[in-house]
Amino acid sequence: MVSVTNTRADNYYNEKKDVLLILEKIYDPEIPVLTITEMGIVRDIRFHSDNSLEIVITPTYSGCPAMDVITFQIREALISAGYSDVKITQQLSPAWTTDEISESGKQKLKAYGIAPPDRRFSPPADGVECPLCHSANTKLISEFGSTACKALFQCLDCKEPFDYFKCH
């Protein structure tokens, strides 16, 4: 628990926590069941001496248009929460990997109908578990799917097509 002594360090910690609470409510526009914190996109929250607030994010895929939308969403959420000077910067290194998606995030992906990333299927290959009927009798249709982060599969048992979130 956070101590109630009013030190600068505690204030700093509390403020960061406040910002994090706001960021935890922002959903990925392409995968609307995951928040940007569950995706592992948020790298750092920094308060600067000129009272500006800097959010450091890391891109998932280079050309992913969701990054621009996410940047906009972060700015909008923080400004409406009263932070007037918000700066969002991108950090490329270390490169984002799907290992940064939280465990709860992976479960939510599955419930949403997207097979979560699985190191055994990197690169994507036949046999990814179908998120609908849980059969492993599945076939890779294409390594490229509806968004940069997904591959196309079909389940040979329930016959449904599904997306697999590629290991990255």
Partner 1 sequence: MNDYLLHLADTSLILSHRNSEWCGHGPVLEQDIAITNIALDLLGQARYFYQYAARLTGNTDEDKLAFLRHEREFKNLLITELPKGDWAHTVLRQYLFSQFQFFQFEKLQHHSDKELAAIAAKSLKETAYHLRWSREWVIRLGDGTEESHRRMLAALDTLWPYTHEMFRPADYELACEVNVAELEQPWKEAMAYVFQEANLPIPQHTWFQYGGKTGYHTEYLGYILAEMQYMQRAYPGATW
Binding site for partner 1 (CB under 8 A): 59, 61-65, 92-96, 123, 141-146, 148, 152, 168
Q: Which two tokens stand for residue 29?
A: 């526009």
Question: Rounded to an integer, what distance in angstroms lies between the CA atom of residue 145 and that of residue 54?
Answer: 33
Q: Where are the beta strands (DSSP E) in 10-142?
A: 42-47, 53-57, 86-90, 114-115, 138-142
Report yes or no: 74 and 66 within 8 Å, Cβ to Cβ.
Answer: no
Q: How far is the CB of 97 from partner 1 (least distance, A)?
A: 8
> 97 or 107: whose CB is closer to partner 1?
97
Q: How far is the CB of 47 from partner 1 (least distance, A)?
A: 24
> 18 or 160: whose CB is closer to partner 1?
160
> 19 or 57: whose CB is closer to partner 1?
57
